[in-house]
Amino acid sequence: MNNTSLQTLKIFEEYEKRFAKAKFEKQINLSTIPDQRQRILDGVKKMLCFDEKLIPSISNANVITQRDLGNYVEYQVTYETWKNVYGASTVLIPKKSKPAPVTFILCGHGKKGRLTESYALMAHRLAKCGTAVIVPDNIGQGDREFMGHWNVVSPFNAGLTLQGLIVAETLALIKAVKSHPKFDGENMCACGNSGGGTLTMFLTALAPELKAVASSGYPSEFEGLLSKEKTHCACNLLKGCVCGPEMWEIYSLFAPKPLLLSQGWYDVLIPLELAKRNARKVSSVYSSIGAGENFKFELTATKHPWAEEDRILISNFLLKVLGLEPCDEIDEQAIIDILGDGSVKLPENAIGVDELVFNLTGVKTPKDIKLQDIIHPTFSGEKIDASTIDATYNNDDVMRIFAQMEYSLKTK
């Protein structure tokens, strides 16, 4: 008899029950009731391990390259956020005599970061229609890959989260753009897919500067995503998210402002029934305050990444809010032909996530430490001894999976 296999089965079963218990015990909060709204906001900050003091200031902005593309100019820009932490963004600005409305495109895990084709096609589509566009590389992605992203654990070791740092940096960028003379700070929107869907969800709670948001490839339910028996990217790990406010409660904080949630019929990463359930609940909140027309949920005949149908849907939604006409006849192949290589080199003194976390907290994370060494998986209230379980299943690290589940259920 293989006792390690049986023990592994029992532990997974207990985690399933803990997820079910957390869902059963969760009390709903309505964003339309002030004290409940505050509880949602507090819960958002708790799962992100977020404090306003984390938000850096944008400085030392530099245009690395620029191209005149007819009706607009493309810039590749670098800037400093926290000390020795450098960001990179593609910025498209229409040739207008007055400040332009702005759309932020927030990326998921495309192989080339902000330069991934699906995001670049969206950026140029929107710019052709008259909105300025800003596409930043998230921490550890694109030209910032050297910083570390997928497997970083130092934020969790120091009482932070990677997503919380990404949110803080994005909020800093939004604030900087709002006050910049080239942009109309009263007309700013955001859209994002997959990891960008995660980020846009948190912006609906924490970025009141935004006039409209389109979020795709993520809106569903925390329990459904974080109970998956797979290794998650570090940016998807949120402290106690299964016990805190659910996604629909967070998105509903944005009401009555225009909000679009969308999902591909053939997206195998996000369960369709959970996306639909989330949307129904958000819709109920919007309708309850007489703003039902400002909420949209759309299904597209696409997979997880943005395809042309998604770009048309999302861009038309945002352009309408900004008072701009959609460009119905966009030749995406013509855009692909002009994309080129917009990558930039960041300064030699640029630091990674581990150094950033140390600078922010004073906590140094030992090299080669694993998530399960920081967040200890438990069974029957006791730490799990890794030698008593099957270490791998389907080439995945089982202790890492248990640690993710433990963190999602963490209440203290």
Mean pLDDT in the chain?
96
Burial (0-12, 13-18, 19+ Cβ within 10 Å), 293: exposed
d(CA 273, CA 169): 32
172-217 pLDDT tens trace: 999 999 999 999 999 999 999 999 999 999 999 999 999 999 999 9
301-334 pLDDT tens trace: 999 999 999 999 999 999 999 999 987 789 999 9
In this prediction, residues 28-40 reach a mean pLDDT of 97
Contacts of 66 (CB under 8 A, 6+ apart): 73, 74, 75, 76
Does residue 136 sit in helix, strand or coil? strand
Burial (0-12, 13-18, 19+ Cβ within 10 Å), 168: buried
d(CA 174, CA 189): 10
Nearest to 74 by CA among 157, 133, 129: 133
Q: Which two tokens stand for residue 332?
A: 């995406």
For residue 326, is the peptide bond before it cis, meaning its omega torsion is within 30 degrees of 0?
no
7-16 pLDDT tens trace: 999 999 999 9
